[in-house]
Amino acid sequence: MTGKSSVFKFFVVLILLILVFLQGLEMKQSDRLFERVNQLEKKVSGKNSRVYRPASDTDSAQASAKDGGWLIWRLSSEPPTLNPITSKDAYADTIVGSKNCFVFETLVRRNRDSLEYQPLLAESWDISEDGLKIEFRLKEDIWFSDGEPVTAEDVKFTYETIMDVEIDAANIRNYFVDFKSCEIVNERTVVFHMKRPYFLAFGMIGETPIVPKHIYEYEDAQDFNSNISDPVGSGPFVFGQWDVGDKIVLEKNENYWGEGVNFEKLIYKFISNDMAALTALKSGQIDVMAPLPEQYTSYKDDEQFKKKFNIYKYLIPDNSYTYVSWNFECELFQDSKVRNALTHLIDREKIKDHIWEGLVGIVSGPFSPGSPQCNPNVEPLEFNPDKARELLSEAGWKDTNGNGIRDKNGREFKFKLMIVSGSPITEQTAKVLKDQFSQAGIIMEVDPFEWSVFLDRLHNKDFEATTLAWQGDVETDPYQIWHSSQIAKGGSNYIGYKNETVDEILEEARRTLDDEKRNRLYHRFHKIINEDQPYTFMFVRPSIAFMNNRIKGVKIHKLGVNIKEWYIPSELQKY
Say yes or no: 298 and 329 in one domain. no
Kindly report the CATH number assigned to the domain that includes residue 354.
3.10.105.10
Say yes or no: 379 and 470 in one domain. yes
Say yes or no: 370 and 453 in one domain. yes
84 found inside a domain: no
- Whole-number Å distance between alpha carbons of 108 and 203: 8
Question: Measured on CA atoms in the order 212, 218, 224, 227, is the torsion positive or negative?
Answer: negative
The boundaries of the domain holding residue 302 are: 53-76+245-315+543-575
407 found inside a domain: yes
Measured between its terminal Cα atoms, the distance across the chain in Å is 35
Say yes or no: 478 and 522 in one domain. yes
Kindly report the CATH number assigned to the domain that includes residue 63.
3.40.190.10
pLDDT at residue 318 in the model: 75
Say yes or no: 468 and 525 in one domain. yes
Say how far residue 498 (Cα) sits from the centre of its chain.
Answer: 23
12 found inside a domain: no
348 found inside a domain: yes
240 found inside a domain: no
3-state secondary structure 336-356: HHHHHHHHHHCCHHHHHHHCC
pLDDT at residue 272 in the model: 92
6 found inside a domain: no
384 found inside a domain: yes
pLDDT at residue 476 in the model: 87
The domain boundary, picked from 231, 254, 280, lies at 231
239 found inside a domain: no
- Whole-number Å distance between alpha carbons of 349 and 376: 20
**How many domains, the chain?**
3
Say yes or no: 286 and 343 in one domain. no
Which amino acid is it at 81? T
Say yes or no: 211 and 249 in one domain. no
- Whole-number Å distance between alpha carbons of 370 and 361: 12
Say yes or no: 298 and 349 in one domain. no
Say yes or no: 114 and 64 in one domain. no
pLDDT at residue 260 in the model: 85
Say yes or no: 394 and 523 in one domain. yes
Kindly report the CATH number assigned to the domain that includes residue 182.
3.90.76.10
Say yes or no: 57 and 38 in one domain. no
User: What is the length of the chain?
Assistant: 575
**Bridge partners, 567 (sequence order):** 552
- Whole-number Å distance between alpha carbons of 162 and 176: 8
Q: Is 301 exposed, middle or buried (0-12, 13-18, 19+ CB in 10 A)?
A: exposed
363 contacts 321 by C-beta, under 8 angstroms: yes
The domain boundary, picked from 185, 209, 231, lies at 231
Give the H or E element holding residue 268: strand 265-270
**pLDDT per residue of the chain (575 residues) written in tens, 0 to 9:** 333 333 433 333 333 333 332 233 233 333 333 344 344 344 333 333 333 333 334 344 444 447 899 999 999 999 999 999 999 888 898 999 988 999 999 999 988 888 789 999 999 999 999 999 999 999 999 999 999 999 999 999 999 999 999 999 988 999 999 999 999 999 999 999 999 999 999 999 999 999 999 999 999 999 999 998 999 999 999 999 999 999 999 999 999 999 989 999 999 999 999 999 999 999 999 999 999 999 999 999 999 999 999 999 988 777 789 999 999 999 999 999 999 999 999 999 999 999 999 999 999 999 988 889 999 999 999 999 999 999 999 999 999 999 999 999 999 999 999 999 988 999 999 999 999 999 999 999 999 999 889 999 999 999 999 999 997 777 789 999 999 999 988 789 999 999 999 999 999 999 999 999 999 999 999 999 999 999 999 999 999 999 999 999 999 998 889 999 999 999 999 98
- Whole-number Å distance between alpha carbons of 462 and 447: 12
The domain boundary, picked from 208, 231, 254, lies at 231
Say yes or no: 289 and 354 in one domain. no
